[in-house]
Protein backbone atom coordinates (compact mmCIF):
# COMPACT_ATOMS: atom_id res chain seq x y z
CA UNK A 1 0.00 0.00 0.00
CA UNK A 2 2.87 2.40 0.80
CA UNK A 3 4.34 1.91 -2.70
CA UNK A 4 0.97 2.63 -4.34
CA UNK A 5 0.52 5.69 -2.14
CA UNK A 6 3.96 7.00 -3.13
CA UNK A 7 3.16 6.58 -6.82
CA UNK A 8 -0.18 8.33 -6.49
CA UNK A 9 1.43 11.16 -4.55
CA UNK A 10 4.15 11.38 -7.19
CA UNK A 11 1.58 11.66 -9.97
CA UNK A 12 -0.17 14.53 -8.25
CA UNK A 13 3.01 16.59 -7.75
CA UNK A 14 4.06 19.46 -10.01
CA UNK A 15 0.60 19.82 -11.47
CA UNK A 16 0.29 16.11 -12.23
CA UNK A 17 2.55 16.37 -15.28
CA UNK A 18 5.98 15.28 -14.03
CA UNK A 19 5.09 11.58 -13.73
CA UNK A 20 3.70 11.48 -17.27
CA UNK A 21 6.63 13.46 -18.68
CA UNK A 22 9.13 11.11 -17.06
CA UNK A 23 7.27 8.04 -18.31
CA UNK A 24 7.54 9.37 -21.88
CA UNK A 25 11.25 10.15 -21.51
CA UNK A 26 12.17 6.90 -19.76
CA UNK A 27 9.99 4.47 -21.65
CA UNK A 28 8.80 2.98 -18.36
CA UNK A 29 7.03 4.18 -15.22
CA UNK A 30 9.15 5.44 -12.32
CA UNK A 31 8.38 3.99 -8.91
CA UNK A 32 8.99 7.23 -7.01
CA UNK A 33 9.75 10.75 -8.14
CA UNK A 34 12.06 11.61 -5.25
CA UNK A 35 15.31 10.88 -7.10
CA UNK A 36 14.07 12.42 -10.36
CA UNK A 37 13.07 15.65 -8.65
CA UNK A 38 16.61 15.89 -7.30
CA UNK A 39 17.98 15.15 -10.79
CA UNK A 40 16.19 18.25 -12.09
CA UNK A 41 17.01 20.59 -9.18
CA UNK A 42 19.70 23.22 -9.81
CA UNK A 43 22.00 24.32 -7.01
CA UNK A 44 20.78 27.93 -7.41
CA UNK A 45 17.68 26.98 -5.40
CA UNK A 46 19.96 26.29 -2.42
CA UNK A 47 17.74 23.47 -1.15
CA UNK A 48 18.85 21.23 1.72
CA UNK A 49 17.47 18.10 3.34
CA UNK A 50 16.75 17.66 7.05
CA UNK A 51 20.42 16.86 7.72
CA UNK A 52 21.64 19.97 5.93
CA UNK A 53 22.87 18.18 2.81
CA UNK A 54 22.50 20.03 -0.48
CA UNK A 55 19.69 18.91 -2.76
CA UNK A 56 20.64 19.32 -6.44
CA UNK A 57 21.59 17.22 -9.43
CA UNK A 58 25.38 17.36 -9.02
CA UNK A 59 25.80 14.19 -6.93
CA UNK A 60 23.28 12.41 -9.16
CA UNK A 61 25.33 13.54 -12.15
CA UNK A 62 28.42 11.85 -10.67
CA UNK A 63 26.53 8.58 -10.25
CA UNK A 64 25.03 8.73 -13.73
CA UNK A 65 28.44 9.31 -15.28
CA UNK A 66 29.74 6.17 -13.57
CA UNK A 67 26.75 4.09 -14.73
CA UNK A 68 27.08 5.31 -18.32
CA UNK A 69 30.77 4.46 -18.36
CA UNK A 70 30.18 1.01 -16.89
CA UNK A 71 27.38 0.02 -19.28
CA UNK A 72 29.16 1.37 -22.37
CA UNK A 73 32.44 -0.26 -21.29
CA UNK A 74 30.68 -3.62 -20.87
CA UNK A 75 29.09 -3.31 -24.31
CA UNK A 76 32.38 -2.45 -26.02
CA UNK A 77 34.23 -5.21 -24.16
CA UNK A 78 31.82 -7.77 -25.63
CA UNK A 79 31.41 -6.14 -29.05
CA UNK A 80 35.15 -5.81 -29.77
CA UNK A 81 36.89 -8.91 -28.32
CA UNK A 82 40.18 -7.98 -29.99
CA UNK A 83 40.30 -4.41 -28.64
CA UNK A 84 43.07 -3.63 -26.17
CA UNK A 85 42.68 -1.35 -23.15
CA UNK A 86 43.77 1.80 -24.96
CA UNK A 87 41.42 1.16 -27.88
CA UNK A 88 38.43 0.43 -25.64
CA UNK A 89 39.11 3.50 -23.50
CA UNK A 90 39.27 5.74 -26.57
CA UNK A 91 36.06 4.25 -28.00
CA UNK A 92 34.22 4.70 -24.71
CA UNK A 93 35.35 8.33 -24.56
CA UNK A 94 33.80 8.91 -27.97
CA UNK A 95 30.44 7.45 -26.88
CA UNK A 96 30.22 9.38 -23.60
CA UNK A 97 31.91 12.56 -24.82
CA UNK A 98 30.56 15.79 -23.40
CA UNK A 99 29.42 16.89 -26.85
CA UNK A 100 27.42 13.69 -27.36
CA UNK A 101 25.82 13.80 -23.92
CA UNK A 102 24.85 17.43 -24.51
CA UNK A 103 23.14 16.40 -27.74
CA UNK A 104 21.28 13.58 -25.97
CA UNK A 105 20.08 15.87 -23.18
CA UNK A 106 19.03 18.52 -25.66
CA UNK A 107 17.12 16.00 -27.82
CA UNK A 108 15.14 14.91 -24.75
CA UNK A 109 14.40 18.51 -23.81
CA UNK A 110 15.62 17.94 -20.25
CA UNK A 111 16.34 21.61 -19.62
CA UNK A 112 12.61 22.33 -19.91
CA UNK A 113 12.03 20.48 -16.64
CA UNK A 114 14.90 21.78 -14.50
CA UNK A 115 13.99 23.86 -11.44
CA UNK A 116 16.29 26.84 -11.07
CA UNK A 117 16.56 30.47 -10.03
CA UNK A 118 18.74 31.20 -13.04
CA UNK A 119 17.18 32.08 -16.42
CA UNK A 120 17.56 28.99 -18.59
CA UNK A 121 18.97 30.96 -21.49
CA UNK A 122 21.96 31.81 -19.30
CA UNK A 123 23.06 28.20 -18.86
CA UNK A 124 26.09 26.93 -20.73
CA UNK A 125 25.69 24.13 -23.26
CA UNK A 126 26.93 21.51 -20.77
CA UNK A 127 23.72 21.75 -18.74
CA UNK A 128 22.11 19.35 -21.23
CA UNK A 129 24.70 16.63 -20.67
CA UNK A 130 24.77 17.22 -16.92
CA UNK A 131 21.02 16.67 -16.72
CA UNK A 132 21.26 13.54 -18.86
CA UNK A 133 23.86 12.05 -16.49
CA UNK A 134 21.76 13.04 -13.48
CA UNK A 135 18.74 11.36 -15.02
CA UNK A 136 20.71 8.13 -15.49
CA UNK A 137 21.75 8.30 -11.84
CA UNK A 138 18.14 8.78 -10.78
CA UNK A 139 17.05 5.77 -12.83
CA UNK A 140 19.66 3.60 -11.12
CA UNK A 141 18.53 4.67 -7.65
CA UNK A 142 14.85 4.30 -8.50
CA UNK A 143 14.74 1.10 -10.57
CA UNK A 144 18.18 -0.48 -10.24
CA UNK A 145 20.82 -1.62 -12.71
CA UNK A 146 18.48 -3.53 -15.05
CA UNK A 147 16.33 -0.52 -15.92
CA UNK A 148 19.37 1.78 -15.98
CA UNK A 149 21.08 -0.49 -18.50
CA UNK A 150 17.90 -0.70 -20.57
CA UNK A 151 17.63 3.11 -20.77
CA UNK A 152 21.28 3.49 -21.77
CA UNK A 153 20.92 0.88 -24.51
CA UNK A 154 17.74 2.44 -25.87
CA UNK A 155 18.95 6.06 -25.74
CA UNK A 156 22.70 5.75 -26.29
CA UNK A 157 24.05 2.40 -27.49
CA UNK A 158 21.46 1.06 -29.94
CA UNK A 159 20.94 4.31 -31.91
CA UNK A 160 24.48 5.70 -31.81
CA UNK A 161 27.16 3.07 -31.17
CA UNK A 162 28.48 1.92 -34.54
CA UNK A 163 32.00 0.54 -34.17
CA UNK A 164 33.22 1.49 -37.65
CA UNK A 165 31.86 5.04 -37.41
CA UNK A 166 33.27 5.47 -33.91
CA UNK A 167 36.73 4.42 -35.05
CA UNK A 168 36.79 7.33 -37.49
CA UNK A 169 35.23 9.87 -35.14
CA UNK A 170 37.51 12.64 -33.87
CA UNK A 171 36.96 13.80 -30.28
CA UNK A 172 39.62 16.50 -30.14
CA UNK A 173 41.41 18.02 -33.11
CA UNK A 174 43.72 19.82 -30.70
CA UNK A 175 44.90 16.48 -29.29
CA UNK A 176 45.51 15.17 -32.82
CA UNK A 177 47.52 18.22 -33.83
CA UNK A 178 49.59 18.23 -30.63
CA UNK A 179 50.26 14.49 -30.91
CA UNK A 180 51.43 14.94 -34.51
CA UNK A 181 53.67 17.91 -33.62
CA UNK A 182 55.29 15.98 -30.79
CA UNK A 183 55.79 12.92 -32.98
CA UNK A 184 57.36 14.99 -35.78
CA UNK A 185 59.35 17.09 -33.26
CA UNK A 186 57.73 20.32 -34.43
CA UNK A 187 57.35 23.37 -32.22
CA UNK A 188 53.77 24.57 -31.71
CA UNK A 189 52.14 27.44 -29.90
CA UNK A 190 48.56 28.62 -29.31
CA UNK A 191 48.48 32.41 -28.99
CA UNK A 192 45.20 33.36 -27.29
CA UNK A 193 43.94 36.91 -26.78
CA UNK A 194 40.63 38.65 -26.13
CA UNK A 195 38.76 39.78 -29.20
CA UNK A 196 35.56 41.58 -28.25
CA UNK A 197 35.00 43.33 -31.57
CA UNK A 198 31.38 44.39 -32.05
CA UNK A 199 29.91 41.29 -30.39
CA UNK A 200 27.90 41.51 -27.19
CA UNK A 201 29.64 38.40 -25.81
CA UNK A 202 33.36 38.42 -25.18
CA UNK A 203 35.26 36.41 -27.77
CA UNK A 204 38.75 34.96 -27.83
CA UNK A 205 40.94 34.77 -30.89
CA UNK A 206 43.62 32.14 -31.45
CA UNK A 207 46.63 31.88 -33.72
CA UNK A 208 48.12 28.40 -34.02
CA UNK A 209 51.78 28.44 -34.98
CA UNK A 210 53.75 25.37 -36.02
CA UNK A 211 57.49 25.90 -36.42
CA UNK A 212 56.97 29.66 -36.09
CA UNK A 213 54.46 29.75 -38.96
CA UNK A 214 50.79 30.61 -38.45
CA UNK A 215 48.82 27.69 -39.90
CA UNK A 216 45.33 28.52 -38.60
CA UNK A 217 43.27 31.22 -36.89
CA UNK A 218 39.89 31.06 -35.13
CA UNK A 219 37.68 32.91 -32.68
CA UNK A 220 34.98 31.71 -30.27
CA UNK A 221 33.30 32.56 -26.96
CA UNK A 222 35.89 30.64 -24.91
CA UNK A 223 39.61 29.94 -25.15
CA UNK A 224 39.01 26.20 -25.29
CA UNK A 225 36.53 26.48 -28.16
CA UNK A 226 38.79 28.85 -30.08
CA UNK A 227 41.77 26.52 -29.71
CA UNK A 228 39.73 23.52 -30.85
CA UNK A 229 38.36 25.47 -33.82
CA UNK A 230 41.84 26.56 -34.88
CA UNK A 231 43.12 23.01 -34.43
CA UNK A 232 40.37 21.65 -36.67
CA UNK A 233 41.30 24.11 -39.40
CA UNK A 234 44.97 23.21 -39.01
CA UNK A 235 44.14 19.51 -39.15
CA UNK A 236 42.35 19.83 -42.48
CA UNK A 237 45.09 22.09 -43.84
CA UNK A 238 47.73 19.48 -42.90
CA UNK A 239 45.54 16.37 -43.21
CA UNK A 240 47.71 14.58 -45.77
CA UNK A 241 50.80 15.04 -43.62
CA UNK A 242 49.10 14.16 -40.34
CA UNK A 243 47.46 11.01 -41.65
Q: Which residues are catalytic?
A: 65, 133
Residue count of the chain: 243
What is the spatial distance between Cα 194 and Cα 205, in angstroms, rounded to a whole number? 6
Contact 171, 94 (CB under 8 A): yes
Burial of 40 from C-beta contacts in 10 A (0-12 / 13-18 / 19+): buried
In the three-class reduction of DSSP (H, G, I as helix; E, B as strand; rest coil), residue 187 is classed as coil
The answer to whether 133 is a known ligand-binding residue is yes
Contact 47, 54 (CB under 8 A): yes
Nearest to 114 by CA among 135, 96, 98: 135
Count the helices and strands in the chain (H runs, E runs): 12, 5
What is the spatial distance between Cα 197 and Cα 152, in angstroms, rounded to a whole number? 43
Residue 6 main-chain phi, psi, to 5 deg: -65, -40
In the three-class reduction of DSSP (H, G, I as helix; E, B as strand; rest coil), residue 17 is classed as coil
What is the spatial distance between Cα 174 and Cα 171, in angstroms, rounded to a whole number? 9
Residue 177 main-chain phi, psi, to 5 deg: -65, -45
Q: How far is CA 112 from CA 20, 116, 236, in A?
A: 14, 11, 37
Extract the annotated binding site.
61, 130, 133
Extract the annotated binding site for Mg(2+).
61, 130, 133
Amino acid sequence: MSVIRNILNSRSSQGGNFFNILTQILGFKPKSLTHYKKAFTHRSLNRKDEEGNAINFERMEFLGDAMLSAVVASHLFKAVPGGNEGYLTKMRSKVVSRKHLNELGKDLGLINHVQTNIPKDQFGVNIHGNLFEALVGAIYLDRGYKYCKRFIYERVIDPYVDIEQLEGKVISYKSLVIEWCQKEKKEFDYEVYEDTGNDELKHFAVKLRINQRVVAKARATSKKKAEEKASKRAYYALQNKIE
